[in-house]
Amino acid sequence: MPITTIIEPFRIKSVEPIRWTTREQRENLLKAAGYNLFLLAAKDVLIDLLTDSGTGAMSTEQWAGVMRGDESYAGSPSFTRFRDSVQEIFGYRHVIPTHQGRAAERILFSVMCKKGDVVPNNTHFDTTRANVEFVGAEAMDLPCAEAKNPADQHPFKGNMDVAALEQTITRVGRERIPLVMLTVTNNSGGGQPVSMANARAVSELCHKHGIPLYFDACRFAENAYFIKLREPGYSDKTPKQIAQEMFKLGDGCTMSAKKDGMANIGGFLCTNDDALAQQEKNLLILTEGYPTYGGLAGRDLEAVGIGIQEALNEDYLRYRIASTAYLGRKISEQGVPIIQPPGGHAIYIDARAFLPHVPQSQFPGVALANELYLEGGIRSVEIGTLMFDQAARMDLVRLAIPRRVYTQSHIDYVVEVILEVWQRRKQIKGLNLISGAPFLRHFSARLAPAD
């Protein structure tokens, strides 16, 4: 018989203990945290699926790079290695390091957008939306029709609705659209990939109208692997070749290296436009740092330069995508409603379908996330009404899997906890909002159980 078990393609050199709490302790901790899992202390969490951002385990090679890091203020060889690695994959002329993705976003939108502009995206992530809105522009989500149905098995639900983009350009006018963005994979839409065909169609349309196309490239390696698995004509290409082909369709990108950069901090902004790059570097110096380090230590640049290459390793991607799909399959087989098919970095539970008796105004996603913590010490995140307010199309609970951190038995435990909560779903109650900031309110909001 052929061997089919997919194992973690690494062995463990250093371990970190994780800590159990009792249910009574968790009840008290949750109350003290205002029923907002962001406000919990990480030591009180057993399995932390809050995010896959900055939470991955670095490789031996990355740690070796950390030791090699050169901390020269200007012209560090660590920057040269970082830039060469980024350029090999992404191909853009200017590579501007930033401390994380949102710093790249802030600089990009400050330079390119003004009040009254419109930025179409397949789906903005929360920081991207906030940064667009902060400069007075409108962040417009144009996901494909299939993305709106969580049960739809379409292989590329991250795609942009190209017809809607064309209508938008006609309606608002090319001069009010300084750029179009494609988020790969589409995080807020369920971690779903964008196909090469869709990226090409968006690119052609943008360029016909003289509009630059930028990628939000956080999970570019996972997206490339999905293309390899699912899009005709790509099965013989390497993930790196696929990524290179995709980035050629654009004019630049923002990147959070905390995801497919396999690093704990870092990001970058790329562009082919010399004049824009100069303005971006000027802003960078104001708040991030000199253009050869951009708010990062030389050692961080090394970790990112090595990490983006490791993220494209096929053994790694096979395990990564299989592990996430396994979690999705195990719970959906028992009836738990999830966004289908499973995404790359996370499983998204459809909380409105899981808790149909909890109205949207009482945050079904938050209610479900809190129950998973109470049941098994698992921390997840709501992507729904608390995060996006009335703009939320869905109420989701995201179980994001940190890279190279948890094993198969951790995932089996997560499956058991979810199924236990599924059994008693009818008793779960919603929550009322007590306080929240005007934007990115999910980070600090406080809630209380509804009567």
170 to 137, 209, 214, 329: CA distances (angstroms):
18, 10, 20, 42
The interface mask with ligand F0G, positions 365-394, x = CB under 6 A, is ------------------------------
The distance of closest approach from Cβ of residue 269 to ligand F0G in the complex, given in angstroms and rounded to an integer, is: 12
Rounded Cα–Cα distance for residues 426 and 428 (Å) = 6
Give the nearest residue (CB) to ligand F0G.
101
The span of 64-72, 94-102, 135-143, 199-207 binding ligand F0G (CB under 6 A) equals: 94-102
102 binds ligand F0G, rule: CB under 6 A: yes
Instruction: Name which of residues 255 to 284 contact ligand F0G (CB under 6 A).
Output: 256, 258, 267
Minimum distance between the CB of residue 54 and ligand F0G, rounded to whole angstroms? 7
Select from 35, 44, 51, 387 the one that contacts ligand F0G (CB under 6 A): 51
DSSP states of 224-289: HHHHHHHSTT-TTS-HHHHHHHHHHTSSEEEEETTSTT-SSS-EEEEES-HHHHHHHHHHHHHHT-
Rg value, the chain, Cα: 21
Work out whether 216 is an interface residue with ligand F0G (CB under 6 A).
yes
- Min separation Cβ 219 and ligand F0G, Å: 7
* 442 touching ligand F0G, by CB under 6 A: no
Stretch that binds ligand F0G, among 4-12, 123-131, 156-164, 198-206 (CB under 6 A): 123-131
Q: Is 324 in the site for ligand F0G (CB under 6 A)?
A: no
Q: Given the rule CB under 6 A, which of 81-89, 124-132, 134-142, 146-154 is the region that contacts ligand F0G?
A: 124-132
Count of other CB atoms within 10 angstroms of residue 29: 18
User: Does position 312 bind ligand F0G by CB under 6 A?
Assistant: no
Total chain residues near ligand F0G (CB under 6 A): 16
Amino acid found at 56: G
Going residue by residue from 159 to 188, which x/- string records binding to ligand F0G, judged by CB under 6 A? Answer: ------------------------x---x-
Work out whether 53 is an interface residue with ligand F0G (CB under 6 A).
yes
Opening angle at CA 117, ends 111 and 119, nearest 5: 80
- Quote the DSSP letter at residue 91: -
Facing residues of 338 across strands? 349
Going across the sheet that includes 267-271, the strands are: 94-98, 267-271, 252-256, 213-216, 180-183, 118-121, 138-141
Tell whether residue 129 is a contact of ligand F0G (CB under 6 A): no
Q: Verify binding: residue 101, ligand F0G, rule CB under 6 A.
A: yes
Q: Dump strand ranges (E) for 267-415.
A: 267-271, 346-350, 378-379, 381-383, 396-400
- The sign of the dihedral angle between the CA atoms of 185, 190, 196, 199 is negative
Out of 36, 76, 78, 128, the only residue in the binding site for ligand F0G (CB under 6 A) is 128
Nearest residue (CB) to ligand F0G, 190 versus 291: 190
Separation of first and last alpha carbons in the chain: 57
**Shortest reach from residue 442's CB to ligand F0G, in Å:** 11
Q: Rounded to an integer, what distance in angstroms lies between the CA atom of residue 165 and that of residue 142?
A: 7
Interaction site with ligand F0G (CB under 6 A): 51, 53, 100-102, 125, 127-128, 183, 187, 216, 218, 256, 258, 267, 400
